[in-house]
């Protein structure tokens, strides 16, 4: 392993010899007898740390510090002073020195200060490297991932973003469908125009039309002034229709008409209004089943599904979990004023073994709870509170091969069971049940409707 390089600067030859005798075994030591010589050596050789005498002829220690601060040095400075007046040492600290020690010093004390300074520098470099990795991972509008599955997703976004094709994003709850939609918008030619979100599962059926198309004053009781709809607000930009599978049948035909004509008409209005909007929609339902049941129009599906994008669930890209962990730990350390560094091996194994029905959103919730509970530098298994008491992925070998259900039915039955238990445990309070499941209340409402839960 390469030794850290230390530059010792002192105009006394005896002091430089002392440094050589006590530091040469553990570090690569350079020496300089003046500030000018030290500056030259810094230009020639990268160093990790500088031991600096304050009282030197010509260029003293404070002048030396001022000079190197202009260059933003990638090293720390420890002041070594024989003066009993520590005001100069304090001034040096203000100029960026890491610490100071007075002559004659205790060798062990000096070594301890050096170790702490080098350890701090190593952590800073590690954080910079991590931030660079995260910056690369965040290049698609906070979509985090370096797995082959996510790299393929990023490539797909790059291809579809420049055009105006309608995009249908499918994926389980918590996989990041809105993030993908925002990425497509920001990487496209409409990036400087509005990005408007409509959650179809959260809008009551009787308000859906006025929400999308707006209304004129007096269009109905209570319409005291004109209201602009989401289509007009998104004119020139992108309209993101989240949970599109929950759109009422009556609205589906009206939406199809708008997609074909690019014209909307406000409730109570007398004329059509042309709009230029790119439509991106998202769903976590099985459209094939919905079309067969007659709950979703087949012609609208094909109009929305010009360019399909499927986001893989977290259980299919578990190699991204360590990167997601570091991201969420940094996020909640800042928000909660904590200093958690990571997870223990046992905790990380639990996180990797877990099935993640709530995907990235569930992982984020689990880590937030763990950081709230943790009083240590590392998150351990006792701080990992999985929803509904789950601790690991389902055992896939419990069923004989000849009785395995259709995959969609199996997933729906699992979700239905978890939702029913959450509702039962929380006295049918949907908000509390959604918190227990680690999903938004609107998603829970959507799933209750889609799964036929009464």
- Of the pLDDT bands very low, low, confident and very high (cuts 50, 70, 90), residue 134 is low
Name the more confident of 387 and 314.
314
Residue 426: CATH number of its domain: 1.10.10.60
Within this chain, do residues 181 and 283 fall inside the same structural domain, yes or no?
yes
Same domain, 207 and 308: yes
Domain containing residue 124: CATH number = 3.40.50.2300
Distances in Å between the Cα of 166 and the Cα atoms of 234, 277, 278, 360, 411 are: 14, 10, 6, 25, 28
What band does 171 get if pLDDT is binned at 50, 70 and 90?
very high
> What pLDDT, on the 0 to 100 scale, is given for residue 405?
43
Q: What is the pLDDT of residue 220?
A: 85
pLDDT band at 398 (very low <50, low <70, confident <90, very high): very low
Token readout for 187 is: 């990487």
The pLDDT assigned to 67 comes to: 82
Domain region containing 384: 315-389
| Residue 306, in any domain of the structure | yes
Same-domain check for residues 170 and 307: yes
Q: pLDDT category, 411, cuts 50, 70, 90?
A: low
DSSP state of 220: S
Tell me: do 23 and 116 sit in the same domain: yes
Q: Among 312, 342, 368, which residue terminates a domain?
A: 312
Q: Residue 311's pLDDT is what?
A: 95
Q: Indicate whether 324 pLDDT > 50.
A: yes
**Of 361, 389, 417, at which residue does a domain stop?**
389
Please report the pLDDT score of residue 128 as a whole number: 61
Same domain, 171 and 308: yes
- Give mean pLDDT, residues 213-225: 87
Q: Is residue 45 part of a domain?
A: yes
Instruction: Please compute the mean of the pLDDT values over residues 154-160 and round it to a whole number.
Output: 93
- Average pLDDT for 228-257: 94
Last residue in a domain, options 297, 312, 327: 312
Query: Tokens 């992108």 correspond to what residue?
Result: 238
Mean pLDDT of 350-358: 92
- The Cα 29–Cα 23 span in angstroms is 7
For residue 160, what are the contacts with CB-CB under 8 A and spacing of at least 6?
A: 167, 184, 307, 309
CATH number of the domain bearing residue 375: 1.10.8.60
Looking at the domain assignment, is residue 324 inside a domain? yes
pLDDT of residue 313: 95
366 and 327, same structural domain? yes
Residue (of 264, 216, 269) closest to 239 by Cα position: 264
Q: How many residues does the chain have?
A: 454
Peptide bond into 114 cis (omega under 30): no
* Residue 80 sits in the same domain as residue 199: no
CA angle 389, 286, 140 (to 5 degrees): 75
State whether 374 and 413 are in the same domain: no
Considering the domain boundaries, does residue 147 fall inside one?
no
Q: How many CB atoms lie within 10 A of CB 108?
A: 9
Nearest Cα neighbor of 137 from 7, 300, 319, 356 is: 319
The rounded distance, in Å, linking the Cα atoms of 334 and 326 is: 12
Query: Does 140 reside within a domain?
Result: no
Q: Rounded CA gap, 239 and 278, in Å? A: 6
At 399, is the pLDDT very low, low, confident or very high (cuts 50, 70, 90)? very low
Q: Give the C-alpha separation, 290 to 310, whole Å.
A: 18
Band (409; pLDDT cuts 50, 70, 90) = low
Tell which residue, 5, 25, 15, 37, has the closest CA to residue 101.
15
Tens digits of residue pLDDT in 416-427: 878 888 888 888
DSSP designation for 267? B
Which pLDDT does position 55 carry in this prediction?
85
What are 31-82's pLDDT values in tens digits?
Answer: 999 989 988 888 888 898 999 988 888 888 888 888 887 665 668 899 888 8
Average pLDDT of the segment spanning 158-183: 94
Instruction: Output the pLDDT for position 231.
Output: 95
Q: Number of folded domains in the chain? A: 4
pLDDT greater than 70 at residue 403: no
Same domain, yes or no: 186 and 308: yes
- Please check whether residue 229 is in contact with residue 275, taking contact to mean a CB–CB distance below 8 angstroms: no
One domain, residues 174 and 273: yes
pLDDT in tens, 76-94: 899 888 876 677 778 888 7
> Tokens in use for 450?
């889609």
Q: Are residues 225 and 361 in the same domain?
A: no
Q: Domain holding 178: CATH number?
A: 3.40.50.300
Residue 408, pLDDT score: 56
User: What local confidence, expressed as pLDDT, does residue 130 receive?
Assistant: 59
Shared-domain flag, residues 375 and 324: yes
């Amino acid at each position: 392993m390469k030794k850290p390089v230390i530059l010792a600067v002192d105009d006394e030859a005896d002091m430089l010899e002392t440094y050589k005798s006590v530091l040469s075994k553990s570090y690569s030591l350079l020496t300089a007898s003046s500030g000018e010589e030290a500056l030259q050596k810094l230009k020639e050789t990268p160093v990790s740390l500088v031991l600096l005498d304050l009282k030197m002829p010509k260029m003293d220690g404070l002048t030396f510090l001022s000079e190197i601060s202009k260059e933003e040095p990638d090293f720390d400075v420890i002041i070594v002073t024989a003066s009993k007046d520590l005001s100069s040492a304090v001034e040096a600290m203000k100029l960026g020195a890491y610490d100071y020690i007075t002559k004659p010093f205790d060798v062990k004390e000096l070594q301890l200060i050096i170790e702490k300074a080098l350890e701090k520098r190593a952590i800073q470099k590690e954080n910079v490297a991590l931030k660079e990795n995260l910056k690369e991972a965040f290049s698609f509008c906070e979509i985090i991932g370096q797995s082959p599955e996510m790299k393929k997703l990023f490539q797909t976004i790059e291809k579809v973003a420049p055009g105006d094709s309608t995009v249908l994003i499918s994926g389980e709850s918590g996989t990041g469908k809105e993030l993908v939609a925002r990425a497509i918008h920001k990487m496209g030619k409409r990036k400087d125009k509005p990005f408007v979100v409509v959650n179809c599962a959260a809008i009551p059926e009787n308000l859906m039309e006025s929400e999308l198309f707006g209304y004129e004053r007096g269009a109905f009781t209570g319409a005291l002034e004109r209201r602009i709809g989401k289509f007009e607000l998104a004119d020139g930009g992108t309209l993101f229709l989240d949970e599109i599978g929950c759109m009422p049948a009556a609205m589906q035909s009206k939406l199809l008409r708008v997609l074909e004509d690019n014209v909307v008409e406000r409730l109570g209005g007398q004329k059509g209004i042309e709009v230029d909007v790119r439509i991106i929609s998202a769903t976590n339902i099985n459209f094939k089943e919905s079309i067969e049941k007659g709950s979703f129009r087949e012609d609208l599906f094909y109009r929305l599904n010009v360019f399909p994008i499927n986001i893989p669930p977290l259980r299919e890209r578990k190699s991204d979990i360590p990167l997601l962990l570091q991201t969420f730990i940094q996020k909640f350390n800042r928000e909660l004023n904590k200093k958690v560094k990571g997870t223990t091996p046992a905790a990380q194994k639990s996180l990797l073994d877990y099935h993640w029905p709530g995907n990235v959103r569930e992982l984020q919730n689990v880590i937030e709870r763990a950081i709230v509970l943790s009083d240590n530098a590392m998150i351990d298994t006792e701080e990992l509170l999985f929803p509904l008491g789950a601790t690991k992925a389902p055992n896939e070998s419990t069923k004989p091969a000849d009785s395995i259900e259709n995959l969609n039915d199996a997933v729906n039955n699992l979700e239905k069971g978890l939702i029913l238990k959450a509702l039962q445990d929380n006295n049918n309070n949907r908000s509390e049940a959604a918190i227990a499941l680690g999903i938004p209340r609107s998603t829970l409402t959507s799933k209750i409707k889609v799964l036929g839960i009464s």
